[in-house]
Amino acid sequence: MKKHVLVLLIILLSASCLNAQNVATRPSPFIIKGFHLDMRIQVMSMDTLRSFALKLSRYGINTLIMEWEGTYPFVRHPLIPNRYAYTKSQITSFIKYCNSLGIDVIPLQQSFGHVEYILRHDRYKDLREDQKDFSQVCPLQTKQDSALFTDLYTELASTHTSKYIHIGGDETYLLGHDERCRLKAAQEGKSKLYIDYIKLLCNIVIKLGKTPVLWADIALKYPDAIKLLPKGTVFIDWNYGWDMNRFGAHEKLLESGYEIWGAPAIRSSPDNYYLTQWEKHFKNIRDFVPEAAALGYKGIVMTSWSTSGVYSPVFESENEMTDEYAIRHVYPISGFNLLIAAYAQSLHQSKPLEIEPFVTKYCMEHYGFGRAESARFWRALRTAPYQITRGTVESKPPITIKELLDSVRTADKTLHELNPAKNEKEFAHYRLMADIRLRYVEFEHILHKVNEPSFTVAGVPAVLRELKALIDKGKVLDAQFIALNKGYMHDTELKKENDLRNARIQLLYDRLSRKN
C-alpha cells in the first residue's frame, strides 16, 4: 500500500510540476504577458533586476513595465534623479538583456498625478495644481507641461526599444482643484479637463513614434470625452479584487474601442510590513485574469507596489520642506515568489486558478512538504488578515486586539514548526514576515493598554519591560531582514526600512522612560 502511495505521489508531482520552464510552454490568451516593477522605493540592484527578469522570462512573461521614477538618470533635468539612479549605460544594458530574453521593457513616466518627486523642486513649481499638495500637475499649464514631458519622454525613448511609453494618469485626486481648472470643469466637464491634457501627453508620445499607455481609472470615472484620445491609445484596467464598476461604468471603457490590458496585484493596499493579505491576492489572480481574457483584453500586467504613491512632507518651516516620506511600505518583492508563480500559472491555463491545489503543489515541489504540511502552511498565511486602525481590529465579526494576537502567535508558531527540505531561504521570508507582524500586534496590544483611561503611572515599569523586549526582538529581526535582502536593495534602504519599523516602539519607550 505504501509503495502505491509513493508511486501516486511521484506521478502527481511530475504531472503538476510548477517549474517556470513548464509554465512558459503552455498557451496564453494574452499577447502582452506583463509584470510591473515600482522603483519609487526599495530600489533593486542591477544584478537583482537581471535575475528577476530571467525568472520572469522562464515563466513566459514577455513584457516588463518599469516605473523608474527617480532612478532614471535624466540629463536635461538633473534634479529629478535621486541618489539611487542608475546610469544610462546600466539601463541600456538591462534593456538589451531583457530583449535577449524576449522581454519588452516599457518605461512608465507619471505625467499627471504622483509627481511629487518632480514638483517638489522650485524649478517646476509653476506646473503645480496646488502649491501645498504638489502631487499633481495643472492640466492647463500646457506649454510648460508639454516642454517638460517632451524632454522626459524623449530621453526615455532614446534608451527604450519598446513601441510603448506608459504615461501614468491614475489617481488625479486634485482634478479641477485650482480656479482655472474649476472653471473649465464647470463649463466643459471634468472628463474634458482630464482627457484634453491626456491627449496632449499622448500626442507627444506619438510624435516620438511610440504608442501611449495609461491607467484607466480616471477615464472610467469621467468617460464622456474618452473618444477624443488618439485611436492607438492603450488603457490598463487595474482591478485588485473589487467590482468591475468601482471607478465608473465599465461598459463605457469596453465600448470605447481602445485596446485594453488588465492589471491585478500581488502587493497593494492595505498591505504593509505588518500585513500581507495572501488570500485576497490569490483570489484577485483567480478571478480577474480569466475575466480579462473573457472580455478580450489583449494583455495582462501584474502590478506590485512598493508603496501607496502618497507622500508625507516634512517641513522645516511653513514654507520650507525638508523631505518627503513614502506612506505605506511593504515587504520587498523578494518574499513573493509564491504569488508570482501563481500569476504565471494563471496566464497559461484556460480555467481559473485553483488556489489550494496550486499552493499544495507549490509546497510539495519547492519545500518538500506533504499535503498535511502544505495545508498547515496555507492556513498560517491566511490567518486573521486584519488591519488595526486607531486601536480597533477591522474584522467581521469584531475581535479584540488580544484575540488577534492569539491568532497571529499561532500562525507564527506554525511557520516556525514547518521544516522545508529545500529552498530554506525562500521559506525564511514567510517566517520573517510573520515575526514582524507578531511584533507589531504585540506593540498594538501594549499601545491599546496605555491608551485606556485606567492606565496610570503605576503601570509604566511593566510596560517599559514589555517595550524593551520588543526593542530587543527588533534587533534580531532587523539583522534577519538585512541578511535575507542583502544585495536585493541598497544597504541604506535596508537600514531605513528597519528604522521605520522600529520608530513607534522606540518613541513610546523614550516617552514613558523620559529618555533624553
Query: 127-164, pLDDT tens digit by residue?
Result: 999 988 889 999 998 888 899 999 999 999 999 999 99
Average pLDDT over every residue of 163-192 = 96
Same domain assignment for residues 66 and 211: yes
Residues 6 and 15: their CA atoms lie apart, in Å, by 14
**Does some domain include residue 361?**
no
Cis amide prior to 397 (ω within 30 degrees): yes
**Does some domain include residue 12?**
no
DSSP designation for 384: -
With CA atoms as reference, report the closest residue to 354 among 300, 290, 303, 297: 290
Cis amide prior to 270 (ω within 30 degrees): yes
Q: Taking 70 as the threshold, does the pLDDT of residue 12 lie above it?
A: no
Residue ranges of alpha helices (H) inside 169-249 are 179-188, 190-207, 217-221
User: Which CATH number belongs to the domain containing residue 332 in this structure?
Assistant: 3.20.20.80
With CA atoms as reference, report the closest residue to 88 among 155, 177, 180: 155
Helix (H, G, I), strand (E, B) or coil at 237: strand
Same domain assignment for residues 282 and 330: yes
The pLDDT-based confidence of 120 (bands split at 50, 70, 90) is very high
Average pLDDT over every residue of 401-421 = 98
**Does some domain include residue 48?**
yes
- Domain holding 343, by residue range, is 29-347
* Choice among 21-35, 72-86, 191-205 with the minimum mean pLDDT: 21-35
Q: Taking 60 as the threshold, does the pLDDT of residue 18 lie above it?
A: no
* Choice among 229-238, 305-314, 478-487 with the minimum mean pLDDT: 305-314
C-alpha cell at 505: 516602539
The pLDDT-based confidence of 25 (bands split at 50, 70, 90) is low
* Choice among 34-38, 315-319, 365-369, 412-416 with the minimum mean pLDDT: 315-319
**Does some domain include residue 353?**
no
Same domain assignment for residues 171 and 288: yes
| pLDDT (0 to 100) of residue 441 | 98
**Does some domain include residue 357?**
no
Same domain assignment for residues 275 and 382: no
End-to-end Cα, the chain, rounded Å: 70
How many CB atoms are closer than 10 A to CB 102?
Answer: 12
| pLDDT (0 to 100) of residue 22 | 54
Considering the chain, what percentage of its residues have pLDDT values greater than 90?
Answer: 88
Same domain assignment for residues 316 and 205: yes
| pLDDT (0 to 100) of residue 142 | 86
Burial class (CB within 10 angstroms; exposed 0-12, middle 13-18, buried 19+) of 242:
exposed
**Does some domain include residue 20?**
no
| pLDDT (0 to 100) of residue 2 | 39
Same domain assignment for residues 272 and 406: no
| pLDDT (0 to 100) of residue 28 | 83
Same domain assignment for residues 225 and 147: yes
Average pLDDT over every residue of 72-84 = 97
Same domain assignment for residues 284 and 406: no
Number of structural domains the chain divides into = 2
Same domain assignment for residues 336 and 386: no
With CA atoms as reference, report the closest residue to 411 among 393, 394, 386: 386
Same domain assignment for residues 389 and 282: no
With CA atoms as reference, report the closest residue to 359 among 281, 442, 289, 305: 281
Average pLDDT over every residue of 463-492 = 97
Considering the chain, what percentage of its residues have pLDDT values greater than 70?
Answer: 95
Q: Taking 70 as the threshold, does the pLDDT of residue 54 lie above it?
A: yes
| pLDDT (0 to 100) of residue 8 | 35
Q: Taking 80 as the threshold, does the pLDDT of residue 172 lie above it?
A: yes
Same domain assignment for residues 180 and 281: yes
User: In what helix (H) or strand (E) does residue 12 lie, and over which residues does it extend?
Assistant: helix 2-15
| pLDDT (0 to 100) of residue 309 | 86
How many CB atoms are closer than 10 A to CB 285?
Answer: 26
Q: Taking 60 as the threshold, does the pLDDT of residue 9 lie above it?
A: no
Q: Taking 60 as the threshold, does the pLDDT of residue 203 lie above it?
A: yes
Same domain assignment for residues 97 and 161: yes
| pLDDT (0 to 100) of residue 198 | 98
| pLDDT (0 to 100) of residue 19 | 53
| pLDDT (0 to 100) of residue 11 | 33
Average pLDDT over every residue of 3-22 = 41
Q: Which residue is listed with cell 521570508?
A: 429
Across the strands, what pairs with 304?
267
**Does some domain include residue 363?**
no
Q: Taking 90 as the threshold, does the pLDDT of residue 61 lie above it?
A: yes
Average pLDDT over every residue of 65-80 = 98
Q: What is the mean pLDDT of the chain?
A: 94
**Does some domain include residue 21?**
no
